A and B are shown apart, each in its own frame.
Chain A
Amino acid sequence: MTGRPSASRRMMSGRRPYQTVDPRDRGGAAQPLLIVEHLTKHFPVRGGLLNRAIATVQAVDDVSFAVAKGEVLGIVGESGCGKSTTARLLMGLIEPDRGALVFDGEEVGAGLSVTALRRQMQMVFQDSYASLNPRLPIVDSIAYAPRMHGVKPAEARERAETLLAQVGLNPAQFARRYPHELSGGQRQRVNVARALALEPRLVILDEAVSALDKSVEAQVLNLLRELKARFSLTYIFISHDLNVVEYIADRVLVMYLGKVVEIGPVERIYRSPRHPYTRALLASKPTLDPDRRATEQPLTGDPPNPINPPSGCRFRTRCAFAEAVCAERAPVLASADAAGQSAGGHFVACHVPAAQEARLG
């Protein structure tokens, strides 16, 4: 492993203006930790006599974004919009058709190998049970990846027990248990510990809390926040739960049918969403506040089939504001400010955001 100082030592090394204590940091605080460029994945749909590709599902289509060091980027969207495919593409679990990843200034595949990337980037899956080997005691599951990277068994086990304690599970009680002997929340803590075992800098949380009870979800969310501060982590937080994303994320990326429709700081997007889809999504967010009851037209119908997405803007078939131009050209991400000035990193892919603004008055 790299000679990274232990977490406690880094915590005690005094407050510095930037968190650049990590010796693996290359670009400094201004260099985004991860830049994703034109990531595209189309799955062939096979059928017919010779099992030929008869169509393609455009699961992820030309997705670009960047994640700054130390931030939490939330990715939201309906199921089937390509959130999880994006996560798997980032982890290299499936091969992208096109696109580049730049991790801390180094292009993956050129300057940085996928293997090296995987040690700095880890993932927590939604299904807490399926993501642990049922035949391994949890301490061995956590120690597994470090051992495969050549850490001595005793040392890996010791580190795994430390991590268990850090995710709030007493090693003396839990280390030798099997996954089926734990509750969902406990298992997800184990999965978080497993993801942290290789000391990654970026953790992708793919619906990591979605399957948990609300109270447990809150505990795990708080744990994630705490771990982020302790290990100076960066998160990509994928969820369909807008409340959770609002709570944990610094910036939000909204996906629709494999495309990015809006991206920006969480408070801007939640306060003044510009894309009609984001508006509808936020309006559908359940709230307990009677003064904030939904006023927007709720979205009707299912998303169109990603095999043959609509021409131009993919949302136009469900959009109340669609105009002729929406069917002709696909909108590109542009600054959300109508005057074209910087809008604090708020970008939207819509032809008519200003028009709707006017219409809504």
Chain B
Amino acid sequence: MASTSTLDGGTVRVGAAVAPAQPGIGYWRAVGRRLARDPITIAVTIVIVGIVLMAIFAPWIAPQDPLAGSVLRRLKPIGTPGHWLGTDETGRDLWTRLVYGSRLTLIAGVAPVAISLVIGSCLGIVAGYAGGVLGNVIMRLMDVFYAFPSILLAIAICGLMGNGLLNSVLALSIVFIPPMCRIAESVTTQTRTLDYVDAARASGTTTSQIIRHHVLANVLGTILVYATSLISLSIILSAGLSFLGLGVTPPNPEWGLMLNSLRQAIYVQPLVAALPGVMIFITSMCFNLMSDGFRSAMDVRLAQ
């Protein structure tokens, strides 16, 4: 602590590092302020925003047709006039496909995480706060899903429901619900035995108020960070599903699928073949770094 305080509160001297009273600064504004001082998090957030914008404005950024190929211009190298990132194995412009591919990849990466975040934390908070039989039923149900390796579970669900983007999103949501639920449950269980929750109960606060004001802040703080780190895993898993022919179907552009189909060209045009992988790597790393940045920004105890 930077302040040198005497024990008697009335005559406390405040050190230079502690700002004078800052009325009206809430928790989230303080988080924003700390984020603003973290250049790496800002940089990766800008990259992610860029990728999202690229997905939204794909037709304007890459005016060519992502599906139109020509046997005449297969596997052109990087720097070919008209195809500055080269072409793929059926002669489609790789830049165009990468830009369009960000759409499906982001949906396949973010949607399962968002769905499982909502469902998983609701289940987890209920299980953690209610405890007893209900809590046990929910958690043992989650354990059933844990019994399978996540990729196997996703493959099984996808295989059952048939391929396609929607089914791959649903399958991955089901895969991600158990870990989300587990984290929410453990944070809730920890939080509800804390003295400040007891103090709130002792002053007549209702259960729903306690969950909204005390439990949710703790659960969301932890789980949002976990969720952003899951996005990269989700992108890779959905790419894996596409790779196996269970997720996005060709000829639709999706980075995982593109990586798979360009695999055969790795000896002919290694740089071109690696590009979808580079995009997956950049995107998942940025999501990971962003989640790290958010975690430290949201921890008031690390604040300076």
Using CB atoms and an 8 Å cutoff, list the residues of chain A in contact with chain B: 88, 91-93, 115, 118-119, 122-123, 125, 127, 130-136, 141, 144-145, 148-149, 167-176, 178, 180-181, 183, 185-186, 189, 191, 194-195, 197-198, 215-216, 219
* Residue numbers in A under 8 Å from B21 (CB-CB): 171-173, 175-176
B46 within 8 A of A: no
Also in contact, A145 and B200, with CB within 8 A (given A135-B300, A136-B27, A219-B8): yes
Out of B14, B25, B204, name the residue touching A119 (CB < 8 Å). B204
A170, B203: Cβ atoms closer than 8 Å: no
* Residue numbers in B under 8 Å from A144 (CB-CB): 200, 203, 205, 213
How many A-B residue contacts, CB cutoff 8 Å? 106
Interface residues of B in 198-250 (CB under 8 A from A): 198-206, 209, 213-214, 217-218, 221
* Residue numbers in B under 8 Å from A141 (CB-CB): 196
Q: How far is the CA of A186 from the CA of B21 in the complex (A)?
A: 17
A176, B198: Cβ atoms closer than 8 Å: no
Also in contact, A173 and B14, with CB within 8 A (given A122-B202, A130-B196, A145-B204): yes
**B 2-36 binary contact with A (CB < 8 Å = 1; else 0):** 01010111101010001011110101000000000
B7, A183: Cβ atoms closer than 8 Å: yes
Q: How far is the CA of A122 from the CA of B3 in the complex (A)?
A: 31
A93, B12: Cβ atoms closer than 8 Å: no
B203, A145: Cβ atoms closer than 8 Å: yes
B300, A180: Cβ atoms closer than 8 Å: yes
Contacts beyond the supplied A123-B199, A170-B9, A173-B14: 18 A-B pairs with Cβ under 8 Å? A93-B202, A125-B199, A131-B195, A131-B196, A131-B199, A133-B214, A135-B217, A144-B200, A144-B203, A144-B205, A145-B205, A148-B209, A168-B8, A169-B12, A178-B303, A186-B7, A189-B9, A198-B204
**B 139-157 binary contact with A (CB < 8 Å = 1; else 0):** 0000000000000000000
Chain A residue with Cβ nearest B217: A135
Q: Closest CB-CB distance, B130 to chain A, in whole Å?
A: 16
B301 within 8 A of A: yes
Q: Closest CB-CB distance, A310 to chain B, in whole Å?
A: 31
